[in-house]
Chain A
């Protein structure tokens, strides 16, 4: 197939871009080196985040798209409309829950404040003495590797996926593959997460390591995706290690337990001290977790940009190259919105919301 667009990376962002471009009538070739990345390592949460207006707009648009796709997603995508409970541990965090409700409400996003007693009834496994929570019922979870495959399969006639490693981007936009062959297309999308810096070292992307752990099946222990309100503070430190309480009830009955953040390491080994810190934080909220069995723990690398927003748009100086990178821990949530923005820019259409905040920025000239 003579492709109009080559997408590098078949993770959730690359798959969503291929899907959106095919919907816009483009023939797409997706090249994936099968190195694995954040799509296979992450939690698969679909959560509206509101640290800033641009993140809120992108995540709101994206979660709405996921909800619209949900009835058609394959069963193995394990979509669950479990909603999120943002847990307030004290009065100060409860005040933050109220401010969060106002911010979401201003954009028409439904949410509900739960007092301490209501929270205890909603999630009896949480420890006593918490102040309350903000429930965001529109959030959900899915199994991202299968969701990516599902997106790629939706336009089988115009989306072609190949196992191939791109070794270099030449100055005229030609791709040089590991087998020595070359590929060309009028447009190329770089959507391979943390691997993007090997092809474009000028990108301002840093690895942010995370640990996750999954338990055996204990159905009914937890009903919502649970996140501490302090998560926002810990998740956005640009330096140092941090952990936050973040637990999901998977449709299998398993509990997926996060989350940790470490900069400046690409060693994928599970680190016992970091895992212990993360689990101790979880026990602060869910003491009963200590009696459950873990099945597996693993790590992954988030592709973090300096300001936490993805880079979506034309590469400033590389011919034919478009960027869809730097989604950090929110790539599964924001893949549909990112793909919408990028496909609109690439096809000369107008995105549903302002694309300017995501325009590629902070790239370093390298010799």
Chain B
């Protein structure tokens, strides 16, 4: 089994260590690691890392999930703008 996982974040191919959370992958993908945009247009990023703050909501394979509570899977498609 590979020790690497590949997934797509907003169409960009990202390679992470197997077992990484999507929140970690967002950071590795670059920039601020923003996960979502607030109703007033502010970028929001993973904050608490333990499923409480709800700031890391992203669309994963068509479903809204918390990036910090989701482990990266091969070929996963993550959208931060959905």
Contact = CB atoms under 8 A, between A and B. Distances in A.
A91 B57 CA distance: 42
Contact of B54 (A252, A253, A292, A296): A296
B16 to A, nearest CB: 23
A295 B57 CA distance: 9
A293 B57 CA distance: 9
A212 to B, nearest CB: 16
B77 interface: no
B64 A252 contact: no
Contacts, number: 14
A293 B39 contact: no
14 contacts: A216-B54, A216-B57, A216-B64, A217-B39, A252-B39, A253-B39, A291-B63, A292-B64, A293-B57, A293-B64, A293-B65, A295-B54, A295-B57, A296-B54
Nearest to A218: B64
A220 to B, nearest CB: 14
Interface residues of A, number: 9
Main secondary structure on A side of the interface with B? mixed
Interface string B13-49: 0000000000000000000000000010000000000
Interface string A29-58: 000000000000000000000000000000
Interface of B: 39, 54, 57, 63-65
A216 B38 CA distance: 11
Contacts of A253: 39
Contacts of B65: 293
Interface string A222-261: 0000000000000000000000000000001100000000
A253 B54 CA distance: 16
A252 B54 CA distance: 15
Query: Which 10 interchain pairs have the tightest Cβ spacing?
Result: A293-B64, A252-B39, A295-B54, A216-B64, A216-B57, A296-B54, A293-B57, A293-B65, A217-B39, A292-B64
A216 B63 CA distance: 11
Contacts of B57: 216, 293, 295
B68 to A, nearest CB: 14
A292 B63 CA distance: 8
A252 B36 CA distance: 14
Interface string A202-218: 00000000000000110
A296 B52 CA distance: 9
A295 B55 CA distance: 10
Contacts of A217: 39
A256 to B, nearest CB: 14
B30 to A, nearest CB: 25
A291 B63 CA distance: 8
A216 B54 CA distance: 9
Nearest to A217: B39
